[in-house]
């Protein structure tokens, strides 16, 4: 059986026998035993004494940032003064809707113009080569 690792791509597939089996011990949160621990992204301000194991563990755990809605202005698009609207206005909702619709239309139009019969044939050939490569890793015949 093939397993995927890394961020994706054909080079990140390998046969499952090449990987160690995951055990319950592998999934346990480690306890930090050094006298000084680091938190955050680095820097001397993120180095602390390891005096309380519970507090040290809490500082190591990463929590997602809580998003809050803007109380002032809403920003859309890539930036610039034309993409700033006061939150809650009908104009902001209309601009967001128009941006989403235009992005979809642009993608569909450009995708249609690029997809010639020659391009579809090449895509099919490339897909077949990729499939054959992945099957060869798994030991199957394509």
**pTM value?**
0.28
Can you read off the two tokens belonging to residue 102? 């235009």
Tokens describing residue 17: 């026998």
pLDDT at 117: 65
DSSP letter at 108?
H
Q: Which residue stretches of the chain have pLDDT < 50? A: 105-109
pLDDT for the residue numbered 14: 80
pLDDT of residue 107: 47
Q: Given this model, what pLDDT does residue 68 score?
A: 64
Give the integer Cα–Cα distance in Å for 136 and 130.
10
Is residue 76 classed as helix, strand or coil in its secondary structure?
coil
Local structure of 4: helix, strand or coil: strand
Pair 85, 74: CB distance under 8 Å: yes
Look at residue 87 in the predicted model and tell me its pLDDT. 56
Domain boundaries, the chain: 31-62
CB contact set of 49 (below 8 Å; sequence gap of 6+): 35, 36
What pLDDT score was predicted for residue 106? 46
């Amino acid at each position: 059986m093939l397993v995927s690792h890394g961020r994706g791509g054909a080079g990140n597939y390998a046969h499952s026998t090449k990987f160690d089996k995951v055990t319950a011990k592998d999934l346990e949160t480690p306890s930090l035993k050094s006298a000084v621990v680091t938190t955050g992204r680095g820097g001397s301000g993120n180095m602390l004494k390891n005096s309380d194991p519970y507090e040290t563990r809490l500082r190591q755990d990463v929590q997602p940032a809580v998003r809050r809605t803007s109380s002032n202005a809403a920003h859309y698009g890539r930036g610039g003064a034309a993409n700033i609207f006061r939150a809650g206005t009908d104009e902001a909702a209309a601009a967001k809707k128009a941006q989403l619709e235009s992005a979809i239309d642009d993608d569909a139009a450009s995708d249609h113009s690029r997809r010639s019969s020659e391009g579809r044939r090449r895509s099919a050939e490339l897909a077949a080569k990729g499939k054959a490569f992945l099957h060869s890793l798994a030991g199957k015949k394509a």
